[in-house]
Amino acid sequence: MSEAPMKLVVVGAAGRMGQTLIRTIAAMDGVMLHAAVERSGSPFVGKDAGEIAGLGPTGVIIGDDPLAAFLHGEGVLDFTSPAATVNFAGLAAQARIVHVVGTTGCSVEEEEKIKAAGRHARVVKSGNMSLGVNLLGVLTEQAARALPGNDWDIEILEMHHKHKVDAPSGTALLLGEAAARGRGIDLANHSVRSRDGHTGARPKGAIGFATLRGGSVIGEHSVLIAGEGEIVTLSHSAGDRSIFARGAISAALWARDKKPGFYSMLDVLGLTR
């Protein structure tokens, strides 16, 4: 295929995922780093993106004007914060390009605004961009369907590094949604997000969440389905952030020739039924 490399913009370029994206773009075929953006006032604005990511100079200088970067780019890779992502979604729609969103912790209103950008942009959003977690979601849905809520209790346990600001993780919620789909219930009305004190017995059919934070853990997730005398455990361990970066870049390449719309990693990976 002789198509020119896809021109990608990394927003949040100096963050943990931003740096990983810059290194992964350099290592993958079919893509190039077109621009790198940080928030205004960041000490990294004006620095070479490659040097920040530990690659050595690339000639791409980190800027703070996202629209200028988007207008000449083809896709945005966005692992930042909910407020920043809502703003980027509007700009990606103006520029009519691909917007890959990995940011987690969005409210229902923020989610709606990002979805609305899909009228003009090609938005791919997922709480986890790795192949393994998306497969785990499919397996969770199947298991939840096969093991009925009258007899089997679903608990989702996750652990992340101490800097993470949202809980439960986007991945835990993705797995909870998958379990709720399998059970044919609405997650918002059937979840227990925390427990403390005299909580009473576990509500039948509920999907429970438990959150651990500490150290440098990249992401550990387990779905425990507990019945009388047995527990089925499905789990995923992230050993390296590059699994998310490779997924995000594959999503951008997949969306390059798609119609405007709001897509998930299940669409990208062909895991939809």
Find tokens 């387990």 and name the residue: 222
164 is catalytic: yes
Closest CB 259 distance from ligand NAD, rounded Å: 23
Closest CB 151 distance from ligand NAD, rounded Å: 33
Rama region for 116: left / alpha / beta (φ>0; ψ in -120 to 50; rest): alpha
- Of the candidates 99, 164, 221, 236, the residue annotated as catalytic is 164
Closest CB 7 distance from ligand NAD, rounded Å: 18
Helices (H), 96-162: 108-117, 131-146
CB nearer to ligand NAD: give 127 or 182: 127
| Footprint of ligand NAD (CB under 6 A) | 11-12, 14-18, 37-39, 42, 79-81, 84, 102-105, 126-129, 170, 244
CB nearer to ligand NAD: give 164 or 183: 164
Find tokens 């992964």 and name the residue: 24
CB nearer to ligand NAD: give 58 or 103: 103
Q: How far is CA 132 from CA 137, 149, 157, 256, 271, in A?
A: 9, 25, 17, 23, 11
Closest CB 215 distance from ligand NAD, rounded Å: 14
Could you write out the DSSP letters of every residue in 18-68? HHHHHHHHHHSTTEEEEEEE--TT-TTTTSBHHHHTTS---S-BEES-HHH
- Of the candidates 160, 190, 221, 236, the residue annotated as catalytic is 160
160 is catalytic: yes
When CB distances to ligand NAD are compared, the closest residue is 15
Find tokens 């040097």 and name the residue: 51
Annotated active-site positions, please?
160, 164
